[in-house]
Structures are given as structure tokens and as C-alpha cells.
Chain A
């Protein structure tokens, strides 16, 4: 049983997707019970998987017993287990909101698609093979294409069209990158690729470098890195709330892929190609930060603002990836957890504000907005503050420290001012986006939003053990190769 542990986070969502589709005829309530049951099971499985990584190093699971480098592997290590666990926690928040607000009945197949989305995300986190990563990307993409249309509004069709076309081009580039790597190196297993790159003859360096940068474009598109980020705000602000809350993890899949694929392939042992992609990531991250901060200030609606705030958090993560020290890597993971949860919760919150009459609960809702604004701007007592401290701390030794300090601190200040302005116009002048008589807010819907915020508070309360774990994780990522040899 336990030896198949890396497989369970994939099997549970896949089976759940199949079952919810199969038993659709029994009615929406049966589907809901199925989904709740499977979600709790998934959470349990992920906790067990996460727990198992505390004392062991990476578990490499050969699918079908085909040993690497010939077969496809799943890798369960501290980072992938943590990301999978984070996905299931976020899914719990998004899913409970969909249930509380009865949003899962607005199109035919919400439940199966939701599960296939989780299947794709978990697979992308767990796989140890580059082509398999492509396949899981496609699974999560095709589920997300359909989920974008959930709720069926004109705006969503338009946003969906852009998103689908962009990602199809991304998939083509991904295939070209994979093809080039396979043509030169003759393998697709990520660790094996790293091994081959460390003994690469000089004549092939250019080809492999080009393939690596092609992959960076693909992952940058997923993560919404600066020149590839224009789709995000429009898409995210027009799709339905539980879906967009779950999508908060999708951009992080891109960040994870850069960390995992580029960090392993072009790590310290890669000779001439060692960390050659870092300047790109750092400079594009800084550029992203400028553009997205301006976007936050310019955006009119709260949903657009949150879209740009997601871009801000992505830029921070890119900058941290670009600093590329052990502290920076552990800060990447810490900030990923925080920003995913907060962005997901904030999207749900914006949806409530846009659709419901909140006047009977205005103090509660106003307080919640205040907490979320502090959390997303990165002020104490929330985890974003610690992440920023870690960022600045890690940036001190970097050659671009002046630039990083100026941009990060200015951006935080500007975001804070903008959010204060948004809060005052929302709650003092009460300029809400809904028109006419909206239904009164039901308090249980706030539960999911509180839940996601509470998780971020837990990140602060248990900051010390979490940071210890994360620095072990960072060591594991940086020294992956030494351990496998």
C-alpha cells in the first residue's frame, strides 16, 4: 500500500472525476456527496504523502515497474508533496464556496471538470518526466478551458478564446522544446537530462540553451511572466469565482515548473549552462513588477485589481527565483503558499461583493476586506510580510540589490495606497458593483473565505517549523543531483 504512495494523489482525483461523471444521473446532490467525500480522501492522502517526506529524501516511483530512465517516473519529494497538499487545501476552499453559493449547477459538468483539473495539477507537480509534464499540462489545460466557460456568459467565451489560443501556441512551443532536448540528449527523464547536460559536448551547448529558453517561454506563459502576462487579468476577472479561486494555483504551476525543470536541468553542475536562465527570470520579474503595480493602480474594478495583484505576486516569485540562493528558494515556496491561498480567497470575496447585498454584515465584511488587503499587500501580521522580509534579506547579496529594493518597496507602498483607496470607496462611499436589489449575503459563504485566510495566518503562527522544513526543501532542490548520484 504505502509503496504506491506517490500514485494516490493522482488516482483519487481521476477516480473522483470518473465517478462524478458516471453517477451524474443520480442528481446533483449525489455528485456533491461524492465530491466532498473524495476531497476529504484527497486531503488525507496528501497529508500522509506530505508526512512521509519529512524523514526520507525523494521517493521515485517507476510507473508500471519500468525503471528510469526508460520508464516514466513520479517523484514525491518535499516540494511536490507540499504543492499537492496546497492544491487540495485551495480546492477545499474553492469547492466549499461553490457548494455554499450553489454555483456548481450553473453548467453541466462542474464536478467532473473540477476533478480533472485537480488531476492535471497534481500530475504536473508529481511527474519526473518532461514529456509527462507536457501531458499533464494538457490535461489541466483542457479542464481549465471548459471550466472557464462555466456559468456561460458572453464575456467568458471571449476570455476563453484568448486563453485557449495562447495556450495552444504554448503547447506547440513546449513540444518543440521537448523535441530539441530529446534530439540532443536522448532522454526525457528530468534527472537523467540533468546528468546528460553536465557532460554535454561544446558543440551542443547552443541547441540545449535554445531548448531551455523555449521551455522558459512556455512556463513563463503559464506563470504569466511579463511579456506573456496580458491574458491573465482579462481572463481571471471574467470567469466564475470557484473556478478562478482554483486557478490561483495554475500560475504557480508555471513557477514550480521553472524551479523544477530549469533548476534541475541547468543547476550548479551544468557547466557552461549553469543558471544561464537566471538573468532572464530576474529582469523579467522586475519588469513584471513595474507593469503589474501600475496595473493595480489603474484597474477600475476589484476583480481586475486582484488580477493585477496576482501578477504582482508572480513577479515577486520570479524575482526570488532570480536571486536564486538557498534562502530565496525557501522564500519562493513560502510566498507561493501564502499568495495562492490569499489570491484564491480574495477572488471569492470579490465575487461576493459583486453579487450580494452585504449591508447587513458590513462590519464583518469590511473587516475581512481589511485583513485581505493587508495580507495581499504583504504587511504584518500576515505571511506576505515575512516573505517580503526574506526577499529583501536574500537580495542584499545580489548584484542588482538596489533595483530590487527600490522596486519591491515602492510597489508595496503603491499597492497599499491603492487598496486603501479601494477599501474606502467600497465601504465608506459604498459604491458596490451590483446593480439594483441583490440577495442578502449568507454568512456561511464567508466560511470558505475565512478558511483560506486562516491558513495564511497559520503560516505565520508556525513560521519557525515551516521555515525549517522549507530550508530543507530548498537544500533538497539545489542538491538534487548529488543525492541521486
Chain B
């Protein structure tokens, strides 16, 4: 299970980085989303993987899963979700105002950037 999860995180991170390095805003947004999924899964896995165990500490219970990473992931998911929403709106605004969806706001660099 550990290997599987590690592979999933690695795939998500790899594709995320690849997409985040593209020149159009849509793949970049998608890449950022995948990266944040990878980070969330990674954070979750840091509480160690365990199945069918209560996420709470109790005197009688000897085996329990660490509840803190779950709380952290919840926070991180909310934050990354809102950030994704923001960046989508921002890139739509950029597309509307700049007339194209290049991350630099122009189709190709023809002239020296104006200072």
C-alpha cells in the first residue's frame, strides 16, 4: 500500500510540475491543482498508513491512527480549493483583458519588453 501511495503521489507531482511549466494558463491551473492534490496526499500519508483504526486517542485503545494530519489535510484542502478557484477566475480575467491565454499575456515575444 505504501508503494502504491508513493507512486500515486509521484505521478501527481510529476504531471503537476510538467503542466505547471506550460505556457498556457489552463494547463498551468490544472498542474497547480494536481500539485496541491499531491501535497495533500503526502501530508495525509505523514500520519502513517493504517486501516480500520479509530482516529482518536483513548486509554483502552492501543492502536489508533494519528488524527492531526487529517485535520491538517482538511485545512490544506480548503485552502488549495479556494486558491484554485481564485486562480481560475484570475486566468479568465487575464484571457478577457489581455486577449489571449498565454501566461506572459502575449502570444510570442516579438519586441523588447517595455520598461
Contacts and interface: CB of A to CB of B under 8 A. Distances in A.
B91 A161 contact: yes
Contact of A172 (B39, B69, B75, B87): B39
B97 interface: yes
Interface in B14-68: 20, 25, 28, 32, 35-36, 38-40, 42-43, 45-48, 68
B10 interface: no
Contacts of B35: 168-169, 172
B90 A161 contact: yes
Interface string A151-188: 00010011011101100110110011011101100001
A145 B90 contact: yes
B83 A179 contact: no
Interface string B68-90: 11001001100110110011001
A175 B72 CA distance: 10
B25 A169 contact: no
B interface, size bucket = 35 or more
Contacts of B46: 179-180, 182-183
A161 B79 contact: no
A234 to B, nearest CB: 9
A55 interface: no
A175 B32 contact: no
Contacts of B105: 154, 157-158, 161
A165 B91 CA distance: 10
A53 interface: no
B20 to A, nearest CB: 6
Interface of A: 131, 134-135, 138, 142, 145, 149, 154, 157-158, 160-162, 164-165, 168-169, 171-172, 175-176, 178-180, 182-183, 188, 299-301, 304
23 contacts: A131-B75, A142-B82, A157-B90, A157-B93, A157-B94, A157-B105, A161-B105, A165-B32, A168-B35, A169-B32, A169-B35, A172-B32, A172-B35, A172-B36, A172-B38, A172-B39, A175-B42, A176-B39, A178-B43, A182-B47, A183-B45, A300-B115, A301-B115
